[in-house]
Amino acid sequence: MKKEFTITVYTENQIGLLNRIAIIFSRRKINIESLNTSPSESEGIHRFTIVINETEEVVRKLCRQIEKQVEVLKAYYNTEDEIVWQELAMYKVSTEAIAEKIKVERLLREYGARAVVIRKDYTVFETSGHREETDRLVKFLEPYGLIEFVRSARVAIIKSSHGFHEKLKEFEQTEPGEEVIENEYLSKQAEVFTM
């Protein structure tokens, strides 16, 4: 059964990676509901947050496919109850309409919004929350001449995560695999032959 999953991908910051990750979804005809990229808590490592509606089996396969990209360090998937998430929304309304018909202070309190810009011709409000919360304010403002509305992509933190930088430390402390040891041996042998 399909449900909403949030995929978190930790990567190196390389040109063209976003396109290659998007192609993985488009080849499987999977619609991306939300996509956000940002720096992570580890310097030089970026984080992709991708929201899709799919079955867990498909999502598991997607994560494995994404991890095959050279610059991808790790891909996780989580359900809504395993993450803490928010979206930012901005609303532009006529200042005249909003001032005449609504108590602005009540509006701000009730919806957790704040005025970002107040001009003679328009006012811009900003709020954050889950999609249902930001949609409620859209419905409320529509009768008062909602001029423009925009919502950001999801940002999410995994509840059980201790931070990806901890995983990196673990990875750096593990013993090198046989291939690495073999390559080091071959490099030393090559040095001997070139002397």
User: What's residue 191's pLDDT?
Assistant: 54
**Element spanning 5, H or E:** strand 3-12
Please give the Cα distance from 183 to 190 (Å, whole number): 10
User: What's residue 169's pLDDT?
Assistant: 63
How high is the mean pLDDT in each 10-residue block of the chain (195 residues)?
95 90 94 94 90 96 93 93 94 86 76 91 93 91 90 92 68 52 48 50
User: What's residue 167's pLDDT?
Assistant: 66
Q: 0.85 cut: is pTM over it?
A: no
User: What's residue 111's pLDDT?
Assistant: 87
User: What's residue 185's pLDDT?
Assistant: 46
Please name the residue that has the structure tokens 């040109």.
Answer: 15
The angle formed by the CA atoms of residues 105, 109 and 112, to the nearest 5 degrees, is 130
User: What's residue 104's pLDDT?
Assistant: 74
User: What's residue 180's pLDDT?
Assistant: 47
What are the residue ranges of helices labelled H in the chain? 17-27, 56-67, 95-101, 104-111, 131-141, 164-173, 178-194
User: What's residue 57's pLDDT?
Assistant: 96
| Domains present along the chain, CATH in parentheses | 3-82 (3.30.70.260), 84-151 (3.30.70.1150)
